[in-house]
A and B are shown apart, each in its own frame.
Chain A
Amino acid sequence: MKKMISGWSLIKLFTLLVYIWMFTPIIAVVILAFNPQQFGSFPMEGFSFQWFVKLSHNSTILEAFKNSLVLGSLTAVFSTAIGVPAAMAFIRYEFRGKEFFNTLLIAPIMVPEVVLGVALLLFIRWLQQPKSFAMLLIGHVVLTLPYVLLIVQARLVGIKREYEEAALSLGASPLQTFREITFPLLAPAIFAGMLFSFTISFDDVTATLFWATAQNQTVPVKIFGMLRNSISPEINALGAVMILLTVSTPLLAGYLSRRFTRGIDK
Chain B
Amino acid sequence: MKEKTWRPWLLLSPSLTAVFLLLVVPVCFVIVYSFWLRAPSGQDIPAFQLGNYAKFFADFFYPSILLNTLRVAFETVILCLLMGYIPAFFFYKTESRLKPYLMLLVMLPFWISFIIRTLSWINILGDSGLINHLLLKAGLITSPLALLYNEGAVIMGLLQYLLPFMILNIYVSLDGIDKSLAEAAKSLGCTEWQAFREVTLPLSMPGVSAGCLLVFVLTCGTYLPPMILGGPGNEMIANLIFKRVIGTLDWPFGSAISVILMLLLAIIVYTYNRYMGINQIFKSLSNG
A residues with a Cβ closer than 8 A to B are 3-4, 7-8, 11-12, 14-15, 18-19, 21-22, 24-26, 28-29, 32, 39-43, 81-83, 85-86, 88-90, 92-95, 101, 103-123, 125-126, 138-139, 141-142, 145, 147, 149-151, 153-154, 168, 174, 199, 202-203, 205-206, 209-210, 219-220, 223-224, 227, 231, 235-236, 239, 242-243, 246-247, 249-250
Contacts and interface: CB of A to CB of B under 8 A. Distances in A.
B56 interface: no
Nearest to B164: A22
Interface in B1-44: 1-2, 5, 7-12, 14-16, 18-19, 22-27, 29-30, 33
A199 B111 contact: yes
A141 B246 CA distance: 22
Given A95-B9, A114-B221, 19 more contacts: A14-B87, A21-B83, A41-B126, A104-B19, A108-B19, A114-B223, A114-B241, A114-B261, A115-B262, A116-B23, A116-B26, A121-B245, A122-B30, A154-B286, A203-B115, A206-B224, A209-B246, A220-B114, A242-B113
Interface string B234-270: 0000100110011000010011001001100100010
Interface of B: 1-2, 5, 7-12, 14-16, 18-19, 22-27, 29-30, 33, 83, 86-87, 89-90, 93, 105-117, 119-124, 126, 128-130, 133, 160, 163, 192-193, 217, 220-221, 223-224, 227-228, 238, 241-242, 245-246, 251, 254-255, 258, 261-262, 265, 269, 278, 282, 285-287
Contact of A235 (B119, B160, B238): B119
B217 A110 contact: yes
Nearest to A202: B113
Given A39-B128, A115-B30, A118-B241, A101 B12 contact: yes
Contacts of A92: 8
A105 B258 CA distance: 21
B18 A82 contact: yes
Listed residue (B5, B29, B106, B107) with the most chain A CB atoms within 10 angstroms of its CB = B29
Contacts of B265: 110, 112
Contacts of B119: 29, 223, 227, 231, 235, 239
Contact of A236 (B8, B15, B123): B123
A242 B118 CA distance: 13
Given A11-B86, A231-B122, A249-B111, A18 B163 contact: yes
Contact of A205 (B27, B114, B286): B114
A117 to B, nearest CB: 8
A95 B8 contact: yes
Contacts of A90: 8, 12
A154 B113 CA distance: 25
B269 A110 contact: yes
A29 B287 contact: no
B114 A22 contact: no
